[in-house]
Structure 1
Amino acid sequence: MSATHRPTLRVHSIEDLAALIPYLLGFHPHDSLVLVSVEDTTNRIRTAVRLDLPPADAPSADLDMDAVLRRAVAVLDEGVSISAVLAGYGPVGRVEPTVTVAGEALHAAGVAVRTALRVADGRVWCLRCTDPPACPSDGIPFEAATNPAAVAAVYAGLVALPDRDALAATLAPVTGPARQRMIAATVAACGLLADVLDAARTDSVAHHDRDNTGDTGEDPHDDPDAVLDSRLGRALQAAARTYLTQLQARYRDGRPADDEHAATVTVLLDLPSLWEFAARATTGEAWQIQMWSDLARRAEPPFTAPAATLLALCALQAGHGALAAMAVDRALAADPQDRFAQLLHQAIATGIDPATVTALLSPTPGTAR
């Protein structure tokens, strides 16, 4: 689903909220503190941020609240009045001190805490209860799988994997025979692209020599932009866009690419114009997340970063911050100098929200890689 057509999910109780949070994150949190920021005027959820609980033998005062505060302040800077819900997942001795520290930090940043919860063993406790009879000491039981909010989330296409490791596994590079097939297909795709670029370079030189007789200026052999702006270079870029569009149609229909097509697209994404074309076409729709996840997993290391950054853009537009952060980490591990991955890393750290990502990508081109 696109960021402009995100589902409306209703929360009527703390049980609904406890059941919904895993779908906001993309996985079921454990030993975690989750902050959910909510617009005060519309009651719309803006962001969901997860932190590890401090170890049992560590003071909660050492809790690193930087990530939470950056996201809170980023929303406040947009002129949006927000408040927060804090949900701790784990034993009471670790959750309650952590929630207290987090609440104090948010208050100092000008963010009110609507409510604070603890979730464990299929029960939810309200930590700031104003109606004791409604807050039993043994918590309120809830069934996450059948809760109406969770059912609505599943119907809307949201997923909650068992834990964060399970989410990370969805981006693990393919191995074994699948990797060997991709190596062979990538070598073939690189050879084909090299041949076309050589032909385009020759074409560019011929035009340069014909149109600039006696010119002692810059050698077009050394100008990659001139090569791509040649007749064959422009044809290559147009063909690459057509190839990507055909691949997108396959994934939209639920048909993953074969090795040849997957390898060719990951190699062609090295063309800046194709990456930008793909970036401007990203949405938060499930098929796009599936496509770029698949290509990021299958891409050979030199070609992983472009697919991974496109996955991050899709994940951000869908509101899947954890998946976006993992995708950016994959991109930077493959290419620490990838400029767009660096920018995305900073954007995620400052709490960029789905609507902002969509606005940055349209109608003008985004930042070139």
Structure 2
Amino acid sequence: MTATDLPRLTVRSPADLIAAVPYLLGFHPADSVVVVAMRGRRIVFVARADLPDPGTDPRLPARHLGEVLGRQDAESATVLGYGPAERVTPAVDAVRAVLADAGLTVLDALRVTAGRYWSYLCAAPDCCPPEGTPYDQAASQVSAAAVFAGQVALPDRAALTAQVAPVEGDAREALRRAAARAERRLLALLAEAPPADLLGGRTVRAAGVDAVRTALRTHRRGERLTDDEVAWLSLLLTHLPVRDHAWERTDGREEDISLWGDVLRRAEEELIAAPASLLAFAAWRAGQGALAAVALERALATHPDYSLAQLLDDLLRRGVPPSELDGWPAVGDPGVVRRRPRRRRPRRQIG
């Protein structure tokens, strides 16, 4: 589910909207129900859910979509179902009912599959033939405009998940050796901490602040962290004051998304909670809700009780737009968040 602030894509027909949806989501949907919500003539939110399995109640995902869309101050919506009619039709009907109960005008309801679309609201054979209306996404001006604007539509959600998957093979073996060196380095650092530094907290925080600053500078120069830098940073991020220092300095910049995505893929599995959450926060701030979701799925699969991942997962599931929390977070005590008076607004919010 994604809050959107689109590049200027001109949508004049159902085919144009179908061409735009993959760029709004970040991937081509399949076996999905998608709701494109509008305020006036502007798209303000796009939400996607998996089609219910056969034999399950289609009202459950519909209710959730309705709850999320109810927070978006939308006026109207179009519903699109991707897949076979026997699965799409009950899901689309349930979503239409929920949207109508919420007071949203349903502009159209479409089923999309195999290069054709059908409208549930139009039965005129001259514009909505029973065999469906063909469309060519590759030839669409909307697709061309989205690509020109720098938008990417991956083949499917699995391709998006692959962007946060751990590196394997020889690279992983090298990273494991780097992780062992980082652990020895941390033990030596704690052994050298002054007696007044209880449990070495201040020493670790100082090392972590330095590691975060180095990583941010390195990535903003267009350079990649070394294995030892990734191992050292991911180990120090387990210290909450270090994680919070990194969190305060993370926004929706492409450099932030690139940095935390790289650290997440290269960190040892037991250390991924912080970089995964920081990637999710950066992606959410940039409006890339789908990327934020897959990062949080990976974090919570391994660390289900990690509070920052839980917090961000709740924001995504409730469809909270990033613009509602400009200036957030401001972190005082570790893990305690308060609003900060000023923060740069993200350049774009698309997913």
TM category (shorter chain) comes to 0.7 to 0.9
Q: Aligned partners of 2:210 and 2:262: how far apart in 1? A: 22
Corresponding position of 1:240: 211
Asked if the contact 1:6/1:318 (under 8 Å) is kept, the reply is no
Pair 1:149–1:172, CA change in 2 (3 A): same
Asked if the contact 1:266/1:304 (under 8 Å) is kept, the reply is yes
SS of the equivalent of 1:166 reads helix
Match of 1:319 among 273, 282, 287: 287
Alignment pair present for 1:71 and 2:42 = no
Asked if the contact 1:88/1:118 (under 8 Å) is kept, the reply is yes
Asked if the contact 1:115/1:126 (under 8 Å) is kept, the reply is yes
Corresponding position of 1:140: 133
Match of 1:175 among 168, 180, 185: 168
Pair 1:238–1:31, CA change in 2 (3 A): closer
Q: How large is the RMSD of aligned CA atoms in angstroms? A: 2.7
Alignment of 1:288-367 (within 5 A): 288-361=256-329, 364-365=330-331
Corresponding position of 1:100: 93
Q: How many angstroms does 1:182 deviate by?
A: 0.8
- Residue by residue over 1:30-87, the C-alpha shift from the partner in whole angstroms, topping out at 9 and shown as x without a partner, is 12111122223xx3323222222234x4266455324312211222xxxx24322100
Alignment pair present for 1:12 and 2:12 = yes
Q: Aligned partners of 2:248 and 2:146: how far apart in 1? A: 27
Match of 1:109 among 79, 95, 102: 102
Q: Aligned partners of 1:5 and 1:38: how far apart in 2? A: 11
Q: Aligned partners of 1:366 and 1:86: how far apart in 2? A: 43
Pair 1:98–1:335, CA change in 2 (3 A): closer
Alignment: residue pair count:
333
Match of 1:54 among 45, 52, 55: 52
Q: Which letter does structure 2 place at the counterpart of 1:13?
A: S
Calculate percent identity across the aligned residue pairs: 38
Segments of structure 2 that go 5 or more residues without pairing to the other structure are 336-351
Asked if the contact 2:4/2:46 (under 8 Å) is kept, the reply is no
Pair 1:178–1:237, CA change in 2 (3 A): closer
The runs of at least 4 consecutive aligned structure 1 residues that moved more than 4 Å come to 3-6, 59-63, 232-235
Structure with max Cα Rg: 1
Pair 1:367–1:273, CA change in 2 (3 A): closer
Alignment of 1:219-238 (within 5 A): 220-221=198-199, 227-228=201-202, 232=203, 235-238=206-209
Q: Aligned partners of 1:318 and 1:366: how far apart in 2? A: 24
Q: Which has the larger share of helix?
A: 1
Segments of structure 1 that go 5 or more residues without pairing to the other structure are 206-219
Q: Which letter does structure 1 place at the counterpart of 2:15?
A: E
